[in-house]
Amino acid sequence: MMASGKRLGPRPAPFRVGLRRKPIYWCDTCAYTLPMLPQQQGSFPLFNAFGIQVLVHWSWFILPVLVFQSGHHRQFSSQVWTAIELLTIFGIVLMHEFGHALACRSVGGKADRIVLWPLGGVAYVQPPQRPGAVLWSIIAGPLVNAILVPILFLADMAVNHWIAGVSPDVIRYVHWMYVLNLVLLIFNMLPVYPLDGGQTLHAILWYFIGRARSLQIVATIGIVVAVAAGAWAAYTNNTWFVIMAVFVGLQAFQGWRVSQILVRVEAAERDERERQRRWMEGGADDFEQRG
């Protein structure tokens, strides 16, 4: 349709703006791919469920070594219980990851792979880039742990008080699993990007200040906390926490870099909308006129 008497030029082709490196993954412990994250390489497939491939990264086996190093296994009369405990941790992390993956699918996103490694698990999920869809995909993981809290609490109460003659191994096992699940939930919900708490904060802030600015804020918090926690961990000789802090810091830095790109993408998109709007209004001065 053309305004009478005035001929507009051809509608300007919308230019495309986007991130150069494509797939951007929303993961459990991180939002964006980094070489540091466990990939298919170095992982072996375990099974498929709901069309999601579950893999274990070789580094997961550091976990049993750490358990034995810590002397934690000595509290059980038989090491079968240590093995059951490790398998349960594996199961809890896996359920958490399936929470992310299935929630992501439910909002039309993509999720086809879960890799387990010593820092938890990574669900490779790509929810649609809307704050609501991202929020649900992130929060569904910790929600699994939150549901497990009362269940494990009741189990703990049952073996301690309600059922007579339970073996001390079972009592210790159930108690540890209750504590571990609770600690995982609390730690993971700290508002420190890229932990789930930080990503939740990102999705909530996204509603108010947009994707780029919200990512910038949570990534900055992540970097500051990682540096402080890393310094404290190094000072107290806590190797495991140093590794965690380095991981969090690098991921947060990557998130911050992505936020810088997003700021530019959003500005370009605003310019593009303005360009299209001016064309629609017929103020075609900017565009070539055709006779």
Residues that bind Zn ion (CB under 5 A): 28, 141, 196
Nearer to Zn ion, 137 or 254 (CB): 137
Q: Residue with structure tokens 């893999």?
A: 55
| CA distances from residue 156 to 59, 142, 177, 179, 223 in whole angstroms, order as listed | 31, 20, 9, 10, 38
Q: State the Cα–Cα distance between residues 121 and 134, nearest whole angstrom.
A: 18
Smallest separation, CB 240 to Zn ion (Å): 19
Q: What residues have CB less than 8 Å from 206, skipping those under 6 apart?
A: 131, 134, 135, 214
> What is the rounded distance in angstroms from the CA atom of residue 217 to the CA atom of residue 127?
21
- AA identity, residue 260: Q
Looking at the Cβ atoms of 198 and 249, the one nearer to Zn ion is 198
Closer residue to Zn ion, CB minimum distance, 95 or 263: 95
CB-nearest residue to Zn ion: 141
Q: How far is the CB of 262 from Zn ion (least distance, A)?
A: 22
User: How far are the Cα atoms of 114, 183, 231, 234, 257 from residue 27, in angstroms, in the given order?
Assistant: 9, 20, 26, 27, 17
Q: Measured from the CB of residue 139, what is the shortest distance to Zn ion in angstroms?
A: 9
Minimum distance from residue 121 beta carbon to Zn ion (Å): 8
For residue 257, the number of C-alpha atoms closer than 13 Å in the C-beta half-sphere is 14
Please state the closest distance from residue 73 (CB atom) to Zn ion, in A.
27
- Minimum CB distance to Zn ion smaller for 141 or for 230: 141
CA dist., res. 49 & res. 137, Å (int) = 18
Minimum CB distance to Zn ion smaller for 29 or for 214: 29
Between 146 and 171, whose beta carbon lies closer to Zn ion?
Answer: 146
Beta-strand (E) ranges in the chain? 43-49, 52-57, 110-117, 120-126
Q: Give the nearest distance from C-beta 188 to Zn ion in angstroms.
A: 6
